[in-house]
Structure 1
Amino acid sequence: MVDVNKHQIIESNVITGVIIAGGQGSRVGFQQKALLPYHGEPILKPILALLSSQVHTVWVNTNVEIERYQAFSEQLFSDEYQGFLGPLAGMHAAWQYIQTDWAVFVPCDNPNLPNDFVSRMINAYQNQPNPIVIVNDGVRLQPLYIMMHRSMAESLNQAIAKGHLSVNRWVKENDFTEACFADCCSKAFQNMNTLASFDVLEEPS
């Protein structure tokens, strides 16, 4: 593993954002969750806007219906591993495309990402430098919201090869820093995991 400089100061303009949207959508009737409507437009759109305002560039990890995603971003990539292995596979594949040494990963079903998400992840790293930084929402860890150094790519590969596909497990097998978001609103890291979650949202006109 490449040693992370303990005194390195990270700036948001050298961080790439990655939205993980590579699942089959099994919890939402095998639809692409990122493309389900949120206030009249796919939920992916506000997430892209929120993350794009905080980082150098944003990529979207997707494995199906790629032509539909092209309407929102040209920065798309798919898992190298076949079989919809989950977020770890998307994180692993990202390093074949992004050019920065640091990336932040977020899921595709939360339009309430804090406006200072990336800056707070950077501050947590500077207080306790580790190659992985994950969110603690004040109640529990939220390992799908993660900042990672490029040096972790091989660790991701090894975990997937072993069939260890839990992001939470992988994080805890490595050195990581917790970024405290206990003072954020209750919906800051509330994902929409079922079709019922979208029922109250407006349908596209």
Structure 2
Amino acid sequence: MLISTFPEISAAILAGGRASRFGGRNKALIEVEGVPVIGRTLSVLEPLFSEIIIAGWPLGDPLPQGVRAVTDNYPGIGPLAGIEAALRACESPYLFVFGCDMPWLSGEMIIRQADDFLRAPSDILAARIEGLYEPLHSVYSKSIQPSLAGYIEGGGSPTIFDFYPYVATRYHDLPVTEETRKALTNINRPEDIIR
């Protein structure tokens, strides 16, 4: 049996999106330093979380072992739908959410943020750096799933942080370092891989 660092927190990787700048290729399967981004991500997350969910995984792409794919209930509205789907499906009371295009995640940074969350759980522990939100490096309580679904169905903004005021949101200020910036980097264009 896998013993994880955070048994009360599941992890979700959001893999939806068109990836138009990559010719529609699944960004999670693009290689960075010879390893697919999804492989790099899983190597960081697997020791920390016993349940890993991928929301919005493209049909036809091979699903990595040990993860469970879920489908968005609200396709076409972006990451907010992936968070809702993962919250609906996760077995843990809390969910740490990541983007599928973040090849340089830091296990130490994740541990510090998860520890901060567990010291004083809230509906959302939103990461931010220099006042900018990082919703795809944040912790969400499963209990907000009905509120989030209602927000989406009511025509709420698809921007994740516009939902923050509707629930009890705390902020985790990340240190302003090169390590932090690298860990939060996502690949949106082929030239981002070269960084």
Q: How would you bin the TM-score normalised by the shorter chain? A: 0.7 to 0.9
> C-alpha distance in 1, partners of 2:66/2:56?
11
Q: Deviations over 1:34-56 (max 9, x none)?
A: 11111223211100111112112
Question: Structure 2: which 5+ residue stretches go unaligned?
Answer: none
2:47 counterpart of 1:36? no
User: Are the aligned partners of 2:55 and 2:86 in contact in 1 as well (CA < 8 Å)?
Assistant: yes
Question: Structure 1: which 5+ residue stretches go unaligned?
Answer: 1-10
Name the residue aligned to 1:108: 100
> C-alpha distance in 2, partners of 1:99/1:177?
23
Which protein has greater RCO, CA pairs closer than 8 Å, 6+ apart? 1
Give 1:152 deviation, angstroms. 0.8
When residues 73 and 127 of structure 1 are mapped into structure 2, their CA distance, relative to the original with a 3 A threshold, is closer
2:179 counterpart of 1:187? no
Q: Alignment partner of 2:104: what SS?
A: coil
Name the residue aligned to 1:146: 138
Give 1:138 deviation, angstroms. 3.7
Give 1:176 deviation, angstroms. 1.0
> C-alpha distance in 1, partners of 2:33/2:160?
30
Superposition TM-score, scaled by structure 1 size: 0.81
Name the residue aligned to 1:4: none
When residues 122 and 40 of structure 1 are mapped into structure 2, their CA distance, relative to the original with a 3 A threshold, is closer
Name the residue aligned to 1:75: 68
Name the residue aligned to 1:135: 127
Q: Alignment partner of 2:95: what SS?
A: strand
Name the residue aligned to 1:59: 53
Superposition TM-score, scaled by structure 2 size: 0.85
Q: Alignment partner of 1:130: what SS?
A: coil
Q: Alignment partner of 2:184: what SS?
A: coil
Question: Which one of the candidate residues 149, 157, 172 is aligned to 2:149?
Answer: 157
Give 1:116 deviation, angstroms. 2.3
- How many matched pairs? 188
Name the residue aligned to 2:89: 97
Q: Alignment partner of 1:12: what SS?
A: coil
User: Are the aligned partners of 1:137 and 1:189 in contact in 2 as well (CA < 8 Å)?
Assistant: no
User: Are the aligned partners of 1:132 and 1:175 in contact in 2 as well (CA < 8 Å)?
Assistant: yes
Further displaced range: 15-24 or 69-78: 69-78
Letter in 1 for 2:43: A
Give aligned-pair identity as a percent.
22
Name the residue aligned to 1:170: 163
Letter in 2 for 1:182: P
Letter in 2 for 1:62: G
Name the residue aligned to 1:7: none
Give 1:150 deviation, angstroms. 0.8
Deviating beyond 3 angstroms after TM superposition, the runs of 4 or more aligned structure 1 residues are 71-74, 126-129
**Cα RMSD after superposing both structures:** 2.1
When residues 100 and 187 of structure 1 are mapped into structure 2, their CA distance, relative to the original with a 3 A threshold, is same
User: When you count helix as a share of all residues, which structure comes out higher?
Assistant: 2
